[in-house]
Amino acid sequence: MKALILYQSFTGNTEKVTRTIENALRSEGIVPETMKISKENDVELYAYDLVFLGTPVIELLPAKPVFEFIRSQLSIHRKRGDIVPSSPKISGKYAVCY
Question: In the predicted model, what is the mean pLDDT of residues 48-66?
Answer: 93
Q: What is the pTM of this model?
A: 0.86
* 78 band by pLDDT with thresholds 50, 70 and 90: confident
Q: Determine the pLDDT at residue 15.
A: 97
- From residue 3, give the alpha-carbon distance in Å to each of 11, 57, 81, 94: 25, 23, 23, 10
Question: In the predicted model, what is the mean pLDDT of residues 22-26?
Answer: 98
Q: Determine the pLDDT at residue 42.
A: 86
Taking alpha carbons only, the member of 98, 2, 86, 97 closest to residue 46 is 2
Q: Determine the pLDDT at residue 87.
A: 65
Residue 50 β-bridge partners: 3, 94
